[in-house]
Amino acid sequence: MGQVHPARGQRRTGSVVWLALGLGVLAVSGLVVWKDRSSGVGAVSVSGGGAPAPDFRLDSLQGEQVSLADFEGRVVVLELWATWCGPCKLQAEILHELYDEVSSNEVEFLAISLGETRETVERFVERQPFTYPVLLDPEETLGASLEVYALPTVVVVDKDGHIRFHQPGLADAGTLRKVLSDLGVGLST
């Protein structure tokens, strides 16, 4: 009589699991794109103002308290990341290259680790050092204030403390060069 072969049943179950995972990924991707488009996030709007950036006070890896107000009158590039995030490593490389191109003290770069302990971040930075300050946001307070829903996220704050660029996911060097240039930051390219 018709007996079901055990391997076929397992294949069918595996296919259903992969289908469910694929649909889940599509749903999340769609939500990210919808949120991105509906909130205007990711758009470069250097000609007008922007929302005021939330002030923050976070610990650096050196144990100092760092605040956005510490950089008043300067453009600030915030890189929000985590040690487990593969694309964050690529974003750090892009920003490292850009950091080396900055030809003045009119801009500051800050790497802000979200949701991780000091020990985890310190171990990571020992292997892959940053050329700019690393701050800790273990409770993701700043991440929530900036509506960070994807890592990495790059936020550029102008000299007046307004958000002028907010990019969830990777931000390429060309786009960031244009944003900084439009904000009056000199680059040595």
Q: What is the pLDDT of residues 125-169, one digit of tens each?
A: 999 999 999 999 999 999 999 999 999 999 999 999 999 999 999
pLDDT at 40 (0 to 100)? 42
pLDDT at 187 (0 to 100)? 80
pLDDT at 9 (0 to 100)? 56
pLDDT per residue over 54-95, tens digit each?
999 999 999 999 999 999 999 999 999 999 999 999 999 999
List the domain boundaries for the chain: 1-39, 42-182
Give the pLDDT mean for 178-187: 90
Residues with Cβ within 8 Å of 1's Cβ and at least 6 positions away in sequence, in order, are: none
**Of the CATH numbers 3.40.30.10, 1.10.3470.10, 3.30.950.10, 3.40.980.10, which one belongs to the domain with range 42-182?**
3.40.30.10
* For residue 45, pLDDT beyond 50: no
Residues with Cβ within 8 Å of 161's Cβ and at least 6 positions away in sequence, in order, are: 52, 53, 68, 72
The sign of the dihedral angle between the CA atoms of 116, 118, 124, 128 is positive
pLDDT at 188 (0 to 100)? 76
pLDDT per residue over 7-35, tens digit each?
555 555 555 555 444 444 444 344 343 34
DSSP-derived secondary structure for 88-119: HHHHHHHHHHHHHHB-SSSEEEEEEEES--HH
pLDDT at 23 (0 to 100)? 46
- Please write down the long-range contacts of 100-103, taking CB distance under 8 Å and 24 or more positions apart: 100/131, 101/177, 101/187, 101/188, 101/189, 102/180, 102/185, 102/186, 102/187, 102/188, 103/186, 103/187, 103/188
Give dist(CA 148, CA 168) in Å, integer.
Answer: 7
Q: Report pTM.
A: 0.75
Burial class (CB in 10 A: 0-12, 13-18, 19+), 173: middle
